[in-house]
Amino acid sequence: MLSLAGMTWLSRITPQAAHFPHIALPMILLGLGSGVVFVPLTSYGITKVRHQDTGVASGLVNVAHQLGGSLGLAVLVTVFGAASQAGRNSHGTLSPLQLAHGVAAALTGSAVLLALALVVAVTVFYPRQRRGENAHAE
């Protein structure tokens, strides 16, 4: 939730945006949100795995982190390129306004991906965790 708020705030960037508060504060929210989420999700990835398979499960979780980040970055670079393409001059450079537009489009795409991740986490992981709590209570 914190990462989504920070990314949404950051996606409203303009060429006139000052570092503080328009960039620094959303980046702090992103860092806090990521820090709060990555450790529990990594731990969740190796729960209920047999002791002898925990190394393999941990490796698989880390590969998923790397592949997800790489794929997400590829998508967002494509969004940036498409959004900023119209602003290129004959030398292929961007105006500050077009650069800000491309960055804002990519950050908006990132906010959408974070929102989708939140929906998946709430609809897939949370009910599974609740079922596990109910099984222990019985």
Average pLDDT over residues 34-54: 89
- What is the reported pTM? 0.81
Give me the amino acid identity at 98. Answer: Q
Separation between Cα atoms, residue 55 and residue 59, nearest integer Å: 6
Average pLDDT over residues 40-65: 91
Q: Is the dihedral of CA 19, 36, 65, 117 positive or negative?
A: negative
- Of 108, 117, 11, which is closest to residue 64 (Cα–Cα)? 117
Please give the mean pLDDT across all residues of the chain: 88
Could you report the per-residue pLDDT of 103-120, keeping only the tens digit for each? 999 999 999 999 999 998
Average pLDDT over residues 24-53: 91
Long-range contact pairs involving 94-99 (C-beta distance under 8 Å, separation at least 24): 96/15, 97/15, 99/15
Q: Count other Cβ atoms within 10 Å, centred on residue 103.
A: 20
CB 4 within 8 A of CB 114: yes
